[in-house]
Structure 1
Amino acid sequence: MEGYAFEFAQAQLTALPSGALWWHGRQCLIVSDLHLGKSERIARRGGSLLPPYETTDTLTRLDHDIMTTGARIVVCLGDTFDDMDSEQALSEEHRTWIERLMAGRRWVWIAGNHDPAPLELGGTHLDAFYEPPLIFRHIATGSARGEVSGHYHPKARVALQGRSLSRPCFLRDEMRLILPAYGTYTGGLRSSDAALTTMMEPRATAILTGTPMVEIPMPRGAAPTAPQRPSLAQPR
């Protein structure tokens, strides 16, 4: 499988180019911050009119990741919808699509700060999901080793093949793993932002999404240079 394999809290995980996380040992796919319906929410509140295709694009990528991995468990780490009205505005086509993806799988919705829980879609609704040795929640607390979360939409800038590139990224240290936002219209918070530099340990790293996938020291200032021949599977 294409991706970047690593060990975290004694769990063997794979960061996928899409921004999803695959836990083969539990047949579990984890995604965060889909923010479905963002264009509808912006238009509803009088903002700019964006092409309303992000829900289709996000669900297409999620469908691909589920089918490729054969996931039996899917965990959504909160902010699946841009707000609770976005869930109500979901088209019948998209609602049926999500229900098809949920069929025959254990589906866990973690409450986010944008959407407490998409209650009409079934599944299990939790503030945190414990699957030892990992703990899944929306916002990192750092209270226990093995915490997997989202919320911050981290991105990192790296000098790669003579160019400076900014990509969504996974951030990890010994205590926590923060996933990038999975949604098409989601923005990002630079890893050099104080909210992340003060939270992540000094030896934290960033795993950049896209192709090629590389792991670098978490950028806290100027863009670092990526390895000349990045590995797609480099456990620590």
Structure 2
Amino acid sequence: MVPLSFANQEFTLTTSGALYWPGERALLVADLHLEKSSFYAKHGQMLPPYDSRETLERIALAIRETGARRVFTLGDNFHDSEGSARLEPHAAGMLSALTRATDWVWITGNHDPHMEARAGGEIAEELEIAGMVLRHEAKAGETRPEFSGHFHPRLQISVRKRRIRRPCAVVSTSETSGGRMILPAFGALTGGMDAADPAILAAMQPAERIDAMLPAAGKLVQFPLWRREQNLV
């Protein structure tokens, strides 16, 4: 875990892609996509049916490591709105234990807009906590500090002729807002989009700068993605 300052508050970014907010004792995770394998199995593409277990085990570990008492998921919790009904008994029991042990809130996303909290927790389209907006997809033009997911950002760089791809957070700073952050996808079966993709950069406007951030070797590593002064005509 590495410390990260954002919107005048201190946070911790875990190597698994969760964000811990000490001031609220809250863990933020995005894009779990639980039951993705069973969704594909319904459509004839067989995948190992253990993705939900793995994802929930990683959440449980992050809760133990941070001591979080609250959990906010930032949308696309299940791969589809019926995913919670397909959880096998072991995974369902794991999720039920987690939602009982914490103050758990599901923020819905485009993959699961009509999901039901069958295993506990509460459901919201978006929230504002301590002046911070929590939603699934970054809203261009938002001037309040914002946390979101949706894009599954990955940093893509070349090092010694090797192409390296790592999940990362994307963070913007602006004179007109307190900053905005897109979290990496947390789920076991989630791919990723280039953090410098134009769709991500556009969603983070207005901004003075946009950076990719990820933990590496116990430190927060920051890579510039976009600078306003470099894009002025």
Residues 219 and 19 (structure 1), Cα distance of their counterparts in 2 relative to 1, 3 Å cut: farther
1:1-236 aligned at under 5 Å gives the runs 3-46=1-44, 48-116=45-113, 117-142=115-140, 143-160=142-159, 163-174=162-173, 175-200=179-204, 201=207, 203-208=209-214, 211=217, 213-218=220-225
Larger strand share, 1 or 2: 2
Local SS of the residue matching 1:108: strand
Return the TM-score normalized by structure 1.
0.85
Any stretches of 5+ residues in structure 1 without a counterpart? 221-236
Specify the code of the residue in structure 2 equivalent to 1:145.
R
The alignment's C-alpha RMSD in Å is: 2.0
Q: Tell me how far 1:160 sits from its aligned partner.
A: 4.8
Local SS of the residue matching 2:61: helix
1:17-67 residue CA offsets vs partner (Å, 9 max, x unmatched): 100000011110000100011111011012x22222211111111110011
Residues 110 and 43 (structure 1), Cα distance of their counterparts in 2 relative to 1, 3 Å cut: same
Using the alignment, how far apart are the partners of 1:202 and 1:188 within structure 2? 24
Local SS of the residue matching 2:82: helix
Specify the code of the residue in structure 1 equivalent to 2:49.
P
| Higher RCO, 1 vs 2 (CA within 8 Å, ≥6 residues apart) | 1
Contact 2:210/2:226 (<8 A) preserved: no
Using the alignment, how far apart are the partners of 2:33 and 2:108 within structure 1? 13
Return the TM-score normalized by structure 2.
0.86
Using the alignment, how far apart are the partners of 1:83 and 1:21 within structure 2? 24
Contact 2:154/2:165 (<8 A) preserved: yes
Residues 60 and 86 (structure 1), Cα distance of their counterparts in 2 relative to 1, 3 Å cut: same
Local SS of the residue matching 2:41: helix
Contact 1:34/1:184 (<8 A) preserved: yes
Contact 1:109/1:118 (<8 A) preserved: no
Contact 1:9/1:145 (<8 A) preserved: no
Residues 163 and 214 (structure 1), Cα distance of their counterparts in 2 relative to 1, 3 Å cut: farther
1:96-144 residue CA offsets vs partner (Å, 9 max, x unmatched): 1111112232111101111123332222211111111311010111423
| Aligned residue pairs, count | 217
